[in-house]
């Protein structure tokens, strides 16, 4: 998988199969710097957690994917929950930044027209998720046990995104004279669920680029809103 090495300027000579006598085969010889390994592990963990959910994901499987062994994950991230939290923060931060950028891109003058916001947000999300589409479902992991620390943490990180969604969806209802707070909450949930559904479709169509997804979703949103 990862044959890449050569972190330091002095790359170990790849000349021959020089192996030490009496030693375990290839123990401690990788020498990948910690920062790079952590990034690799994080990427593998995001994919694994996103695909199977926290409970079903296995540390050994993540380690195998990276090409290392379990104890390394524990020395770097402490525990399974620690690794999960790291994934959570990583992906939440990237998504929040991207969505914030998509919702207020025009500091001079009024913000973008309300009806243009959803496609912009989708474009931003797809751009962030292009190389890690499963990441969305790390944040929106339905299998976390309610009441657990992990559930609270995921909920807290979702709240940032949900807040942005709420500020966008509230206008829609206000324009209708609807002030029911439960309607607003449900519509917010509906929006994030819609994004999740679209990401789910994207995962099952890997050949689609982020740009293609953005264009397709613009068509679909328009079609839904058109009278028929």
Contact code string over 7-46 relative to DNA, x by CB under 7 A: -xxx-x----x-xxxxxxxxxxxxxxxx--x---------
Under rule CB under 7 A, which residues in 45-64 are in contact with DNA? 57-61
Under rule CB under 8 A, which residues in 109-128 are in contact with its own copies? 114-115
User: Exposed e or buried b for every residue in 148-187, given b needs 16+ CB within 10 A?
Assistant: eebeebbeebbebbbebbbebbbeebeeeeeeeeeebeeb
Give Cβ neighbours of residue 166 (< 8 Å, ≥ 6 apart): 184, 185, 188
Whose Cβ is closer to its own copies: residue 43's or residue 213's? 213
Q: Dihedral (C-alpha) 50, 54, 58, 59: value to the nearest 10 degrees?
A: 90
**137 near its own copies, rule: CB under 8 A:** yes
Q: Which of its own copies, DNA, none interacts with 181 (beta carbon under 5 to 8 A by kind)?
A: none
Radius of gyration in angstroms for the set of CA atoms belonging to the chain, rounded to a whole number: 22
Q: Which of DNA, its own copies, none interacts with 58 (beta carbon under 5 to 8 A by kind)?
A: DNA
Looking at 64, 94, 120, 216, which residue binds its own copies (CB under 8 A)? 216
Under rule CB under 8 A, which residues in 180-209 are in contact with its own copies? 180, 182-183, 185-187, 189-190, 192-194, 196-198, 200-201, 205
CB of 135 to its own copies, least distance (A): 14
DSSP 34-54: HHHHHHHHHHHHHHHHHHHHH
Q: Which of DNA, its own copies, none interacts with 127 (beta carbon under 5 to 8 A by kind)?
A: none
In the block, which residue shows the tokens 């959803």? 118
Q: Read off the tokens for 158.
A: 């979702």
For 64, the enclosing helix (H) or strand (E) is: helix 59-66
CB of 24 to its own copies, least distance (A): 33
Are the C-beta atoms of 107 and 198 separated by less than 8 Å?
Answer: no
Helix, strand, coil shares of the chain as percentages rounded to 5? 65, 0, 35
Residues that bind DNA (CB under 7 A): 2-3, 5, 8-10, 12, 17, 19-34, 37, 57-61, 67-72, 74-75, 79-81
Residues that bind its own copies (CB under 8 A): 51-53, 55-56, 114-115, 137, 142-143, 145, 171-173, 175-176, 178, 180, 182-183, 185-187, 189-190, 192-194, 196-198, 200-201, 205, 216-217, 219-220, 222-228
């Amino acid at each position: 998988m990862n044959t890449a090495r050569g972190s330091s300027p002095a790359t170990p000579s790849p000349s021959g199969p020089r192996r030490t006598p009496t030693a375990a085969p290839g123990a401690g010889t990788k020498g990948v710097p910690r920062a790079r390994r952590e990034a690799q592990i994080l990427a593998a963990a995001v994919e694994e957690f996103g695909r199977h959910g926290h409970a079903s994901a296995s540390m050994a499987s993540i380690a195998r994917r990276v090409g290392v062994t379990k104890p390394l994950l524990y020395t770097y991230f402490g525990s399974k929950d620690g690794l999960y939290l790291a994934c959570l923060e990583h992906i939440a931060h990237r998504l929040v930044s991207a969505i914030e950028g998509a919702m207020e891109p025009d500091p001079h003058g009024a913000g973008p027209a309300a009806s243009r916001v959803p496609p912009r947000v989708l474009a931003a999300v797809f751009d962030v998720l292009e190389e890690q589409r499963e990441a969305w479902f790390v944040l929106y992991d339905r299998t976390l046990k309610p009441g657990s620390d992990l559930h609270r943490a995921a909920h807290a990180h979702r709240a940032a995104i949900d807040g942005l969604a709420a500020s966008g969806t509230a206008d829609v209802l206000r324009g209708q004279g609807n002030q029911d707070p439960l309607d607003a909450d449900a519509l917010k949930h509906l929006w994030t669920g819609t994004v999740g559904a679209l990401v789910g479709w994207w995962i099952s169509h890997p050949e689609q680029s982020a740009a293609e997804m953005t264009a397709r979703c613009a068509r679909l949103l328009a079609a839904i809103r058109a009278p028929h």
